[in-house]
């Protein structure tokens, strides 16, 4: 059989035996550090990242309009205003409906009906015949009416973006 070489102490030197506890101590310290780092990472995720993600999710849920069927609020009776056009007195009769998908916003619009009607009457009575006789003029007026309703909803404590549209279901000029 072949001999396996071994390290022997040189003459004049004593053989140094490795300490038995040295390797175990290194392993224990390494495992302890890994556990502490893992615990720190888990705590960071649980308290910092998860909290930030929850805030983002709740903000996205608040910002997104509710999904569901469209709900319409008819502003009855129709609006009738007069204005001058070329030295003649003209009349405008408009039937308006407001659309939202949020029942709370619909209730808010109904509760503030006098304010909504007042603001829309002032808006409609301020129009020029030449402007609203074109399709673009009517569309601009519809956008202005939407902004007026959103302003009332915001002032009443609601969310303006929940009012999605204002529709003119009847538009008569004489």
Which tens digits make up the pLDDT trace of 133-161?
A: 899 999 999 999 999 999 999 999 999 99
pLDDT band at 39 (very low <50, low <70, confident <90, very high): confident
Let me know whether 90 and 166 are in one domain: yes
Check: CB of residue 95 under 8 Å from CB of residue 168. Answer: yes
169 shares its domain with 132: yes
The separation between CA 95 and the C-alpha centre of its own chain, rounded to angstroms, equals 31
CB–CB of 100/109 below 8 Å? yes
113: in domain? yes
Same domain, 95 and 27: no
Q: Is residue 2 part of a domain?
A: no
Report if residue 156 sits inside a domain.
Answer: yes
Residue 93 lies in a domain: yes
Q: Answer yes or no: do 75 and 57 share one domain.
A: no
Evaluate whether 167 touches 96 at the Cβ level (below 8 Å). yes
Range of the domain at 28: 21-64
| Residue 39, domain member (yes or no) | yes
**162 found inside a domain:** yes
41-74 confidence digits (pLDDT tens): 888 887 877 777 777 776 666 656 567 899 999 9
- Is the same domain home to 48 and 134? no
pTM for this model (two decimals):
0.62
Bridge partner residues of 93 (DSSP):
80, 172
- Is 136:107 a contact under the CB 8 Å cutoff? no
Residue 57 in any domain: the answer is: yes
- How far is Cα 115 from Cα 158, in angstroms, rounded to an integer? 14
Instruction: Confirm if 99 and 164 have CB atoms less than 8 A apart.
Output: yes
Q: List beta partners, residue 173.
A: 92
Do residues 76 and 158 share a domain?
Answer: yes
The domain tally of the chain equals 2
Flag whether 6 is in a domain.
no
Which of these, 118, 159, 114, 167, lies nearest to 141 by C-alpha position?
167
């Amino acid at each position: 059989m072949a001999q396996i070489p071994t390290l022997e102490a040189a003459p004049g030197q004593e053989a140094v035996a490795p300490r038995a506890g040295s390797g175990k101590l290194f392993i224990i310290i390494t495992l302890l550090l890994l556990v502490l780092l893992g615990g720190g990472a888990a705590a960071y995720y649980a308290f910092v990242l998860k909290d930030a993600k929850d805030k983002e999710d709740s903000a996205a849920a608040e910002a997104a309009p509710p999904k569901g069927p469209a709900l319409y609020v008819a502003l009855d009776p129709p609006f009738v205003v007069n204005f001058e056009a070329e030295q003649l007195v003209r009349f405008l009769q408009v039937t308006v409906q407001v659309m939202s998908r949020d029942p709370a916003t619909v209730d808010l619009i109904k509760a503030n009906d006098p304010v909504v009607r007042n603001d829309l009457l002032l808006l409609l009575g301020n129009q020029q015949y030449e402007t609203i006789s074109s399709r673009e003029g009517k569309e601009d007026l519809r956008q202005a009416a939407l902004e007026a309703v959103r302003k009332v909803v915001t002032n009443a404590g609601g969310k303006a973006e929940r009012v999605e549209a204002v529709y003119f279901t009847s538009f008569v000029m004489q």
